[in-house]
């Protein structure tokens, strides 16, 4: 659930870099996208590598596969049904993850550059690897 802000606060907060107004509040500019491979750089799951399943720009959080696993005890809903223990990934803050290059096996920051055709793409700073959008990867194959 997104907390609604008063109009005066929205104007003050949007002056900060990386925060954009949205109809229900604010959205943070994210350095990662859904489908990116990332490495956790701090916390209990430090060093784990996974793919981003979901991005939550309202809270600047991401859900990474195999990271921040939580257990939830679910009671039976109907008679004769058994209770369950469900394990699921919980969101972590986006500042705790770094983009990961599987070819060079290292984490890196991201920057933006232009290709020969003039398109703006993301690039890993340490390796120089280009992170092309999903649709252009499929067209190239």
Name all domains of the chain by residue range, CATH numbers in brackets.
Answer: 30-140 (2.30.30.30)
The reported pTM is 0.76
For the segment 30-69, what is each residue's pLDDT rounded down to a tens digit?
Answer: 899 999 999 999 999 999 999 999 999 888 999 999 999 9
Token couple for 108: 């890196």
Q: How far is CA 107 from CA 28, 76, 89, 117, in A?
A: 22, 43, 21, 27
How many residues in the chain?
141
d(CA 86, CA 69): 10
């Amino acid at each position: 659930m997104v907390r609604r802000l008063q109009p005066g606060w929205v104007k003050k907060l949007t002056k900060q870099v990386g925060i954009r107004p949205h109809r229900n509040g604010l959205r943070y500019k994210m350095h990662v996208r859904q489908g990116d491979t990332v490495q956790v750089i701090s916390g209990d799951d430090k060093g784990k590598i996974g793919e981003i399943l979901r991005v939550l720009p309202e809270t600047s959080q991401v859900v990474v596969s195999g990271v921040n696993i939580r257990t939830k005890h679910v009671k039976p809903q109907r008679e004769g049904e058994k209770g369950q223990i469900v394990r699921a990934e919980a969101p972590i803050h986006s500042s705790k993850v770094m983009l990961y290059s599987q070819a060079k096996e290292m984490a890196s920051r991201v920057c933006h550059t232009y290709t020969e055709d003039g398109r703006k793409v993301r690039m890993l700073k340490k390796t120089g690897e280009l992170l092309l959008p999903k649709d252009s990867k499929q067209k190239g194959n």
